[in-house]
């Protein structure tokens, strides 16, 4: 094989990979691996596992970048209903782990269908609006909301509030970008605000308590509150430059629960300080801005909606997670994209990035 053919092969392999996106994702992944090495010093196996997950995720990203957007649209309906069916399966005979019924046993492995819903939901809604693009009226939006609410409610009942939140956000972004009238948005916000006192009166004591716990971590100081207080200390003690890599673990970090998964940002900002946190903010911002650019250039209604929703979902992940760890938002189980330990979210995120790449590559090819 000559160098020319190798170069040709490489070119063909990377033709559909978006340069800026892959660069940003790889940079975040590298930061993530460093942080995980420090955070998971008591469980070194996690580092190797995460590296393997990343390779798998990159491979899946590559595959989904090869798929034509038309195909995404074509498979939207069957994928959505397949995932919905799996959610029903979870509700009926799912495995219970850590008090929540989220896993569907498949014999050889278990999967979390709720995770797949994060992609299936925007796929279906984007395809739905695309089909009815000629005349989007109240009816279409109402139906879209019904489609949104059913799987969200099923996931929230598992219970898995973090995933339910992300699924709902992904769906809502599609509806918003499809042109949900501002009047409706304003009316919706007003109605919710106005009905809060009434709703509050109807709720049972325990439901109110649950709501308050969500809003106010101090109502469960040994659970959610403990997490927040320890992670806030960790972030604050990082200072401008941080304690330095592997230094955080020597002192305080053993008190941080879930420090390799949902609370990994506490480790990161303790060790790398405000500078590190700013770098990460910039990287996420770059990822999102690149996504929004792809969205703006996307050729069809379907691809615009899909790309916009995927991009804004990344945004939701990042803001909810960092907001939670720094004590701004309630504790909800949302991972930090490309950094938190765990294969499932890594794979969904990468599939999403792959879709963005596919949309970007095919922008000229479909344009009419």
Partner 1 sequence: MAELKNVRRELHYFQVRLGVAGALVLIAFAVLFGRFFYLQVIQHKYYDTKAEDNRISIVPIQPNRGLILDRNGVVLARNYSAYTLELTLSKIPDLQGTINALGKLVDISPRDRRRFQKLRDEGKGQDNLPLKTRLTDEEVAVLAANRYRFPGVDIKGRLFRQYPLGELASHVVGYISRIDDRDVEKIEDSDQAANYRGTDHIGKTGLEQSYETALHGTTGFEQVETDAGGRIVQRGTNVRPLAPRTPPVPGNNLALTLDIRLQEAAERAFGENRGALVAIEPATGGILAFVSKPGYDPNLFVDGIDPLNWDSLNNSPDHPLNNRALTGLYPPGSTFKPYMALAALELGKRTPTQTIFDPGYFLFGNNRFRDDKADGHGYVDMYKSIVVSCDTYYYKLADDLGIDNMARFIGQFGFGAKTGIDVEGEFVGVLPSPEWKVKRFKSTPAQQKWFPGETISIGIGQGYNSYTPLQLAQAVATLANDGVMYRPHFVDYVENPVTGERKYVEPQPIKTIPLKEKNLEFVKHAMVGVNKEGTGARAFAGAKYVSAGKTGTAQVVALKKDEKYSEANTAERLRDHALFIAFAPADDPKIALAVLVENAGFGARAAAPVARKVLDYYLLGQGVDRPAAPAPKLSDDDDGDD
- Does 244 engage in binding with partner 1 (CB under 8 A)? no
- Does 290 engage in binding with partner 1 (CB under 8 A)? no
Out of 18, 304, 306, 356, the residue judged to bind partner 1 by CB under 8 A: 304
Cis peptide upstream of residue 335 (ω within 30 degrees of 0): no
- Residue 108's φ and ψ, nearest 5 degrees, are -85, -30
- Does 297 engage in binding with partner 1 (CB under 8 A)? no
Query: Whole-angstrom Cα distance, residue 325 to residue 330?
Result: 9
Query: Whole-angstrom Cα distance, residue 169 to residue 195?
Result: 22
Query: Whole-angstrom Cα distance, residue 223 to residue 215?
Result: 14
Q: Is 67 left (phi over 0), alpha (psi -120 to 50) or beta?
A: beta
Q: Which stretch binds partner 1 (CB under 8 A): 20-28, 124-132, 248-256, 352-360?
A: 248-256
Task: Output the smallest distance, CB 287 to partner 1, in A.
Answer: 11
Task: Output the smallest distance, CB 292 to partner 1, in A.
Answer: 5
CA nearest neighbour of 178 among 315, 295, 289, 285: 295
Burial 104-118 (b: 16+ CB within 10 A, else e): beeeeeeebbbbbbb
Task: Output the smallest distance, CB 148 to partner 1, in A.
Answer: 18
- Does 221 engage in binding with partner 1 (CB under 8 A)? yes
- Does 232 engage in binding with partner 1 (CB under 8 A)? yes
- Does 171 engage in binding with partner 1 (CB under 8 A)? no
Give CA 146 to chain center in angstroms.
22
* Contact string (CB under 8 A) for partner 1, positions 190-209, x = contact: ----------------xx-x
Query: Whole-angstrom Cα distance, residue 130 to residue 264?
Result: 39
Out of 33, 68, 157, 219, the residue judged to bind partner 1 by CB under 8 A: 219
Subset of 1-30 contacting partner 1 (CB under 8 A): none
- Does 233 engage in binding with partner 1 (CB under 8 A)? yes
Q: Which stretch binds partner 1 (CB under 8 A): 51-59, 159-167, 214-222, 340-348?
A: 214-222
- Does 278 engage in binding with partner 1 (CB under 8 A)? yes
Task: Output the smallest distance, CB 84 to partner 1, in A.
Answer: 26
Residue among 327 and 342 whose Cβ is closer to partner 1: 327
Out of 156, 312, 331, 339, the residue judged to bind partner 1 by CB under 8 A: 312
Residue among 15 and 296 whose Cβ is closer to partner 1: 296
Question: Please, which residues bridge with residue 97 across strands?
Answer: 100
Question: Please, which residues bridge with residue 100 across strands?
Answer: 97
Task: Output the smallest distance, CB 368 to partner 1, in A.
Answer: 10
Helix axes 138-156, 161-177, angle to 10 degrees: 170
Query: Whole-angstrom Cα distance, residue 280 to residue 272?
Result: 10
Task: Output the smallest distance, CB 118 to partner 1, in A.
Answer: 18
Query: Whole-angstrom Cα distance, residue 83 to residue 257?
Result: 32
Question: Please, which residues bridge with residue 101 across strands?
Answer: 96
- Does 214 engage in binding with partner 1 (CB under 8 A)? no
Neighbour-count burial of 146, counting CB atoms closer than 10 A to its CB (0-12 exposed, 13-18 middle, 19+ buried): exposed
Task: Output the smallest distance, CB 203 to partner 1, in A.
Answer: 12
In total, the chain counts a number of residues equal to 368
Out of 292, 344, 363, 366, the residue judged to bind partner 1 by CB under 8 A: 292
Give CA 16 to chain center in angstroms.
23
Residues that bind partner 1 (CB under 8 A): 99, 173, 176-177, 179, 206-207, 209-210, 213, 217-223, 225-226, 228-230, 232-240, 251-252, 255, 269-270, 273-274, 277-278, 281, 284-285, 288-289, 292, 295-296, 304, 308, 312, 315, 319, 322-323, 326-328
């Amino acid at each position: 094989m000559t160098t020319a053919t190798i170069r040709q092969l490489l070119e063909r392999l990377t033709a559909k990979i978006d340069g800026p996106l892959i660069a940003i994702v790889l940079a975040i992944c590298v930061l993530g691996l460093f942080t995980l090495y420090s955070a998971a010093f008591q469980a070194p196996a996690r580092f190797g596992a995460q590296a393997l997950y990343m390779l798998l995720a990159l491979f899946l990203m590559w595959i989904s970048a090869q798929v034509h957007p038309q195909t995404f649209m074509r498979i939207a309906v069957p994928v959505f209903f397949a995932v919905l069916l799996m959610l029903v399966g979870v509700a009926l005979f799912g495995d219970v782990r850590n008090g929540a019924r989220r896993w569907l046993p498949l014999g050889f492995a278990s999967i979390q269908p709720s995770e797949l819903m994060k992609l299936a939901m925007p796929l279906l809604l984007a395809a739905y609006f695309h089909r009815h693009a000629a005349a989007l009226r109240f009816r279409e939006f109402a139906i879209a909301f019904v489609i949104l609410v059913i799987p969200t409610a099923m996931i929230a009942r598992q219970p898995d509030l973090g995933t339910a939140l992300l699924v709902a956000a992904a769906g809502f972004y599609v509806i918003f970008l499809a042109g949900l009238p501002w009047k409706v948005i304003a009316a919706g916000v007003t109605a919710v605000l106005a009905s809060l006192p009434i709703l509050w009166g109807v709720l049972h004591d325990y439901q109110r308590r649950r709501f308050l716990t969500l809003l106010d971590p101090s109502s469960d100081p040994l659970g959610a509150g403990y997490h927040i207080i320890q992670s806030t200390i960790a972030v604050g003690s990082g200072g401008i430059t941080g304690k330095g890599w592997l230094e955080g673990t020597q002192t305080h970090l053993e008190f941080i629960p879930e420090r390799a998964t949902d609370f990994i940002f506490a480790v990161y900002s303790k060790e790398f300080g405000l500078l590190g946190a700013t770098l990460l903010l910039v990287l996420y911002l770059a990822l999102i801005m690149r996504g929004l650019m792809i969205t703006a250039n996307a050729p069809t209604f379907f691809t615009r909606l899909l790309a916009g929703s995927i991009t804004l979902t990344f945004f939701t992940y990042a803001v909810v997670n960092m907001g939670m760890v720094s004590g701004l938002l309630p504790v909800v189980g949302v991972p930090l994209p490309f950094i938190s330990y765990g294969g499932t979210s890594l794979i969904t995120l990468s599939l999403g990035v792959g879709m963005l790449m596919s949309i970007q590559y095919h922008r000229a090819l479909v344009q009419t």
